[in-house]
Amino acid sequence: MSQKISLTRYLVEQQRMEGHIPSQLRLLLEVVARACKSISQAVNKGALGGENSIMGTAGSENVQGEVQKKLDIIANEVLIEANEWGGHLAAMASEEMDSIYVVPNRYPQGEYLLLFDPLDGSSNIDINVSIGTIFSVLKMPEDDRGVDEGDFLQAGNKQVAAGYCIYGPQTTLVLTVGDGVAMFTLDREQGSFVLIEENVTIPEDTQEFAINMSNMRHWDEPVKRYIDECLAGKDGPRGKDFNMRWVAAMVADVHRILCRGGIFMYPWDKREPEKAGKLRLMYEANPMSWLIEQAGGMATNGKQRILDIQPGKLHERVSVILGSKNEVERVTSYHAKL
């Protein structure tokens, strides 16, 4: 790429040429990107942050009963403080907060709703492995007076923007506003995100799968069958060898899939049969599924398209199968044969 295109310029051009992102949404995305820059800064400091070190646990649990890391809480605060005063949002929801955060009365209220997992893959923080922030943007339902949790309960196909920022060897922001997927890497000297790839496309076929194999004995038949066939390699029904990767941060596994294809699964399993899955629908599965679909891939819960699931509650969980189209189709078809 000869001329560097910043995120700001990309968004202005989307607004001007494509006409489908209103200025308020553009502003919102710029603020989210700015917050991700601050989080990236904190991640980079690690134990060098002294008293403000981001390492270790905060001594509390979130609404899902998971131990909160210090960085989970810091990232949550950074996103709220950056977004509450701009006038583009009505409310926010996060993995780290039990209920929604309504923009305080002292600030103007906008028409958008922001959902996020401030720090995905928090078990990777202390071991210096990739982590990330995932976000999803919805519009307030029309003619709505006063915002409440019910306004957030919209299917993923209603998202107006979605993305993530991965804090790895590079800090990269990946975004869709419904016109393909674009990637921007943080240029630390310039302090801005620079476009590195537009129209990201996932190959339809793959020989790489991502799943936590230690849960194999708890899986349902269709997932077991799919993985057994992959493991059988060249001599099995698939007639080819497969490779496996598992970063334990969805953001990093999805990033790899957007870069070179693959299939990611966190399926329902028998450990907690009453839960639909481990991952959260509204601020993990929905934004990732939209990005994957926008890049030509597919995302289902084994039975239906994730983006068509009508959420019943904010912190709803879901079984996730996403990535290269032909593989996701295959696993989904195994579920249909049950």
Residue pair 161/177 in contact (Cβ under 8 Å)? The answer is: yes
* H or E segment and range at residue 34: helix 23-45
Can you tell me which of 75, 82, 92, 250 binds ligand AFP, judged by CB under 6 A?
Answer: 250
Task: Find the binder of ligand AFP among 266, 283, 290, 334 (CB under 6 A).
Answer: 266
Length of the chain: 338
The mark string for 65-84 relative to ligand AFP (x by CB under 6 A, - otherwise) is -x------------------
Smallest gap from Cβ 192 to ligand AFP, in A, equals 27
Which of 15-23, 39-47, 216-224, 246-254 is the region at the interface with ligand AFP (rule: CB under 6 A)? Answer: 246-254
> Does residue 249 belong to the site contacting ligand AFP (CB under 6 A)?
yes
Report the site for ligand AFP in 190-219 (rule: CB under 6 A): 212
Is residue 116 close enough to count as binding ligand AFP by CB under 6 A? Answer: no
CA distance 305 to 301: 7
Cβ 164 to ligand AFP, closest distance in Å? 11
Could you tell me what percentage of the chain is helix, strand and coil, using 3-state DSSP and rounding each to the nearest 5?
40, 25, 40
121 binds ligand AFP (CB under 6 A): yes
- Can you state the angle between helices 70-83 and 23-45, rounded to 10 degrees? 150
CB of 307 to ligand AFP, least distance (A): 19
The residue type of 202 is: I
Q: Which of 90, 104, 103 is nearest to 24 (CA)?
A: 90
CA distance linking residue 197 with residue 178, whole number of Å = 16
* By the rule CB under 6 A, 299 interacts with ligand AFP: no
Half-sphere exposure of 99 (CA within 13 A, CB side): 6
Question: How many angstroms separate the Cα of 22 from the Cα of each of 18, 26, 64, 111, 119?
Answer: 10, 6, 35, 11, 28
Q: Which is nearer to ligand AFP, 90 or 321 (CB)?
A: 321
Q: Does 140 bind ligand AFP (CB under 6 A)?
A: no
Question: Is 248 a residue that touches ligand AFP (CB under 6 A)?
Answer: yes
| Pick 43 or 177: Cβ nearer ligand AFP | 43
CB of 124 to ligand AFP, least distance (A): 7
Nearer to ligand AFP, 117 or 151 (CB): 117
Residue 160 or residue 309: which is nearer to ligand AFP going by CB? 309
d(CA 333, CA 338): 9
Determine the residue with CB nearest ligand AFP. 250
CB 91 within 8 A of CB 111: no
Give the footprint of ligand AFP on this chain (CB under 6 A): 66, 117, 120-123, 212, 248-250, 266, 278-279
